[in-house]
Homo-oligomer: A and B are copies of this chain.
Amino acid sequence: MKKFEIAAIPGDGIGKEVVPVSLHVLNTIEELHGGLKFDFKEFPWSCDYYLEHGKMMPEDGLETLKSFDAIILGAIGNPELVPDHVSLWGLLIKIRRELEQSINIRPAKFFKGLQSPLVNPKDFDLIVVRENSEGEYSEVGGRIHRGEDEVVIQNAVFTRKGTERAMRYAFELAKKRRGHVASATKSNGIIHSMPFWDEVFNDVRADYPDIQTASYHIDALAAFFVSRPQIFDVIVASNLFGDILTDVGGAIMGSIGIAPAANINLNGKYPSMFEPVHGSAPDIFGKGIANPIGQIWTAKMMLDHFGEIELGRKLLDVVEDATNDGFKTPDIGGKASTIEVGDEICRRLKRL
């Protein structure tokens, strides 16, 4: 019996609607499988929590999380009440950083039953390896002067270690896939960090003679996601570039609501965190219509992470089939509620 202790943080907005559905799916899998056991513990850390306690999570929140095998996160943010940079840096980015979840992996592929906005979405299947610990997202920098003389400095910080780590992960992943790595750069415009990024990429690829490579400036790369996503297998990108590309990846699948993600701790010291790409979507919260697929696909990535690759594959097949058969929320052209989609997926899992 494999037993996993899992911390669940639904967070804000639709996170509170889709996380329970993903737990329902995981419970169903547990029942059917026999050899797997999930123990979930829920934490109410969120913007609501902030309004009550003046912080996004308790002082010992990170310590608490460290004892778990994995973390499931819904979404964080309620900008009407708490400025985003406060809520995100107080919880989401804090966990990514302090638990050394140094990369964020985010697949996107042609998904059966979805109406892609592209004329030709056929058969694209890519995965973005996003550097998740440094780069453009930093607390280094600040402001000077006020009013019309104000100057703001934002430092992007790239280390050899962080950059190389993300790239090596991408090359290892490509070995298990179609053997191609594309690097997202901007060395023609961003003068210190991106030429460095290219140098590290050149060094790393020398160790992988069997992997094909290409470099694209981020502007062209984003455009290719739209004009011919089929050319990509694995893409390695900085924190910001990965962020932008993966939303476009969600869009070309047909909905950002289905895009999954995993924040991976590579040194084995702390748990990894599984959170979908979408945000808290306050505009649709409470209506019961949030698309749970992103969160469920994210749970599939957790199964992969636990070594349950076959089980993960089955789960995603079921989700795709259910979608293709019309069990869909309104954002992707269906009439089902969040819970109905989850129930249908559980029903189908039981039939396997």
Q: Which residues of A contact B (CB under 8 A)?
A: 77, 79, 83-85, 88-89, 93, 115-120, 136-143, 147-161, 164, 186-196, 218-220, 222-224, 226-227, 239-240, 243-244, 246-248, 250-252, 256, 279
Tell which of B85, B157, B191, B226 touches A226, judged by Cβ atoms closer than 8 Å. B226
Taking the nearest CB of chain B, how far is it from the CB of A232, in angstroms? 14
B188 touches A160 (CB 8 A): no
Task: Decide if B154 touches A156 in the complex (CB within 8 Å).
Answer: yes
**Are B143 and A192 interface neighbours, CB within 8 A?**
yes
CA distance A84 to B195 in the complex (A): 9
**Bound-state Cα–Cα, A115 to B224, Å:** 15
Give bound CA distance, A186 to B243, whole Å.
10
What are the residues of chain B within 8 A of A219 when measuring CB–CB? 243-244, 246-248
Q: What's the minimum C-beta distance from A46 to chain B, rounded to whole angstroms?
A: 15
Shortest Cβ gap from A255 to chain B (Å): 8
Identical chains in the assembly: 2
A/B interface sample: 26 pairs, CB < 8 A: A84-B187, A85-B188, A85-B191, A117-B120, A136-B189, A136-B190, A137-B189, A137-B190, A137-B191, A138-B191, A148-B160, A152-B158, A152-B193, A152-B196, A153-B158, A153-B192, A153-B193, A154-B158, A155-B155, A186-B243, A189-B239, A220-B256, A223-B247, A223-B250, A223-B256, A227-B251
Residue of B nearest to A229 (CB): B117
A-B contact sample (20 more), CB < 8 A, given A150-B160, A218-B244: A79-B188, A83-B195, A85-B188, A88-B189, A116-B119, A117-B227, A136-B156, A141-B155, A148-B164, A149-B160, A151-B158, A151-B160, A153-B156, A154-B156, A154-B193, A186-B240, A219-B246, A222-B251, A223-B251, A227-B251
Q: Cα distance A212–B162 when bound, in Å?
A: 42
| Contact status A240-B189, CB under 8 Å | yes
Residue in A119, A137, A192 whose Cβ sees the most chain B Cβ within 10 Å = A192
Q: Shortest CB–CB separation between residue A103 and chain B, in angstroms?
A: 16
Which B-chain residue is minimally distant from A226 (CB atoms)? B251
Complex interface: chain B residues within 8 A of A115 (CB): 119
Query: B140, B164, B244: which contacts A244 (Cβ < 8 A)?
Result: B244
- Distance from A195 Cβ to chain B, minimum over Cβ atoms (Å): 6
Per a CB cutoff under 8 Å, which of B85, B155, B187 touches A187? Answer: B85
Question: Whole-angstrom distance between the alpha carbons of A240 and B223 in the complex?
Answer: 14
Which has the most chain B C-beta neighbours within 10 Å: A158, A164, A279?
A: A158
Indicate whether A154 sits within 8 Å of B190 (C-beta atoms), given known contacts A118-B117, A220-B247, A243-B219. Answer: yes
When the two chains form their complex, are residues B93 and A226 in contact, meaning their CB atoms are under 8 A apart? no
Looking across the interface, which residue of chain B has its beta carbon closest to that of A89? B191
Minimum C-beta distance from A88 to chain B (A):
5
Given the complex of chains A and B, what is the CA–CA distance between A186 and B161 in angstroms? 26
Closest B residue by C-beta to A188: B84
Closest to A246 in B: B219
Q: Which of B193, B224, B248, B256 contacts A141 (CB 8 A)?
A: B193
- Whole-angstrom CA separation of A142 from B155 in the bound complex: 11
Query: Are B192 and A152 closer than 8 Å at their CB atoms?
Result: yes
CB distance from A267 to the nearest CB of B (A): 16
Report whether A88 and B118 are in contact in the complex, using a CB–CB cutoff of 8 Å: no
Q: Bound state CA distance, A224 and B85, in angstroms?
A: 22
